[in-house]
Amino acid sequence: MIIDKLYESVKKNGHVCLGLDTDLSYIPKNFLDKYENIEDAIFNFNKKIIDETLDVVSCYKVQIAYYEAYGLAGLMAYKNTLKYIKSQDAISIADIKRGDIAKTAEMYAKAHFEGDFESDIITLNPYMGMDSIEPYLPYMKEKEKGAFVLLITSNRGAEDIEYIETASGKRVYDEVGEKIYSIGESLRGNSGYSSIGAVVGCTHVDEGIKIRNNFKNMFFLIPGYGAQGGTAKNISLYLREGNGGVVNSSRGILLAYKKKEGGEGKFEVCAREEAINMRDSILEAIHN
């Protein structure tokens, strides 16, 4: 199962999920000028980053919005990036946050679990109801795919809906978590974790600890590290025996070269160093 592969990748390479949220403005000019089109520039920037970090990150998260913004050329770069990740036997998370139902959701599942945009794991938004998750389940059962479902996000507006108290006295995120956990019980791998995990922002520490205690077999995708205020110590509280989650960083790694004199010419090396620093900080927090 894909969740077992991710679990083993965390054991081997650490908890860093490298976000390939690649905007043209992130690409050093001297590298950008080598290419005549957007498609090649973005893909080859991503390829350099991937090649340099394969052994120090657990997976790659590709946020589709950054590619859609550049039209067909951007989507070709998206396709080629996912294909390259697969060719390296690495794990891809397509950050698409789909949340529709019925036949529309079936088509989204087909679009992102097979064909040109195939990925290993996708992100989903459950706030239209659990029937928005159901069309993806056959792929998880039969094709070894996975999903991270939004539970507690790291943005300021998370409290507008996710924290509302329900008639049962629980928060909305509690109710959603219980439903996700129940659906995922039939998709548990040898690692003990389910192929349906949750997005749990590390800027809500108390709630994150509660969710970890309540849902021990739920794997987390954890945003909010670094610029949004999440620390390595926060992250360690979300894990279980040092595993059970990956921590996303995008601009912090992609733009690491801007913090070093002459970094533009070795942006991929700077990305590697930043990923290693992040990995080691999290591991140190876990063991202290």
Choosing from 47, 79, 86, 97, which is the catalytic residue? 97
DSSP readout, 156-223?
A: TTHHHHTT-B-TTS-BHHHHHHHHHHHHHGGGB-TTS-BSEEEEE-TT-HHHHHHHHHH-TT--EEE-
Q: What sections of the chain are H helices per DSSP?
A: 2-13, 29-32, 38-53, 64-68, 71-87, 102-113, 137-142, 158-161, 172-184, 205-214, 232-238, 251-254, 267-287
Residue with token string 């054991």: 11
* Contact (Cβ atoms closer than 8 angstroms) between residue 257 and residue 270: yes
* Contact (Cβ atoms closer than 8 angstroms) between residue 172 and residue 162: yes
Q: Is 141 a catalytic residue?
A: no
Q: How far apart are CA 108 and CA 218, in angstroms?
A: 23
Residue type, 143: K
Show which residues are catalytic.
Answer: 97
